[in-house]
Amino acid sequence: MNSVTVRAPATTANLGPGFDSIGMALDMWNDLTVTRGKFSVSTVGEGADLLPQDTRNLVITGLEAVFNHIGEPVPGLQYECTNRIPYARGLGSSSAAIVSGLVAGSAISGADLTKEELTILAADIEGHPDNVAPAIYGGCTVGVRNGTDKWIVDQVKVPDELYAVLFVPEMLTNTHESRAVLPDQISRTDAVFNIGRAALLVNALSSGRLELLKYATDDRLHQPHRTQAFKALPHLIKSALKGGAHGAFLSGAGPSVLALATGREVTISYEMSETARTFGVDGKPMIMAVTHEGASVVSNS
């Protein structure tokens, strides 16, 4: 194989209470073409001016992980990235980069790795599976670490007609900084609060009892702490619910706020935008479907 083009979706992580465990794939895609030749990296679209155009780029981290895994040297390759996923906004742009690199590496090396193998490599790079697993499998996933080097992932059935209504602020979030504000210890009361809601969330999605999501997307592990740096968050969540969302939460480490809806998407998006304006948060609303497809090879030659 001389050249391969792959795509990987945006993802939202946590969905409120499922910190570092639950995630969902969204119908917005980054493309990566890898062609044999003298090493080069080019990026167009979201984050093009901010992303490293050298081996620090996460698409290369992903691709190299495959070659290391199969014990073969990395050949000379040209990387062309077309990015549509907003960069550093809590929509899984890093995971899409890692996963697209892995899928391209798996194809061009002939390793033909399974989704399970790709997930282990991806989650080892990212440190948690809540973005990379839905980027690989599509739909909604629950992922947990088992031991030091294994990851267990299962898919959650989600209603076909589920939409994500997002408010995507202009400000960027550094995930490491956003995680650094989280306490190492939590009370049993807060643990119980989140355990029950994470279970309720998965059950509500798979049973289609979406009226439960307004309880099931609440959280005490990370959102209250992240609100310190993003005071508009609870107000954006409230306005999404007022507009008719089933549930709403901080997408991943933020700053995007995501509302789950099966109708009234434009109203929800209007309410969130108005609240953002009131709080002086610049940004834009976006509406996208939940995708049931994960990253894949689009073409090769």
- Positions that interact with ligand HSE (CB under 6 A): 13-14, 19-20, 128, 130-131, 175, 179, 222, 252-253
Which CB, 41 or 135, lies closer to ligand HSE?
135
Which CB, 69 or 222, lies closer to ligand HSE?
222
Rounded to 5°, angle at Cα 34 from 49 and 253 = 45
Residue of 189, 230, 196, 192 lying closest to 216 (CA atoms): 196
CB of 194 to ligand HSE, least distance (A): 13
Contact 295, 8 (CB under 8 A): yes
CA distance 275 to 271: 6
Which CB, 130 or 271, lies closer to ligand HSE?
130
For residue 213, give every residue at least 6 positions away whose Cβ sits within 8 Å of its Cβ, in sequence order, or none. Answer: 201, 204, 205, 246, 247, 260
Displacement of CA 95 from its chain's centroid (Å): 6
Tokens of 234: 């609870």
Which CB, 128 or 220, lies closer to ligand HSE?
128
CB of 73 to ligand HSE, least distance (A): 31
Contact 294, 24 (CB under 8 A): no
Which CB, 125 or 158, lies closer to ligand HSE?
125
CB of 11 to ligand HSE, least distance (A): 9
Which CB, 18 or 138, lies closer to ligand HSE?
18
Which CB, 24 or 34, lies closer to ligand HSE?
24
CB of 16 to ligand HSE, least distance (A): 11
Handedness of CA 183, 185, 188, 191 (dihedral sign): positive
CB of 226 to ligand HSE, least distance (A): 8
CB of 110 to ligand HSE, least distance (A): 31
CB of 92 to ligand HSE, least distance (A): 8
Cβ neighbours of 215 (radius 10 Å): 15
Cβ burial, residue 143 (10 Å; 0-12/13-18/19+): buried
Tell me: cis bond preceding 255? Omega within 30 of 0 counts: yes
Displacement of CA 10 from its chain's centroid (Å): 5
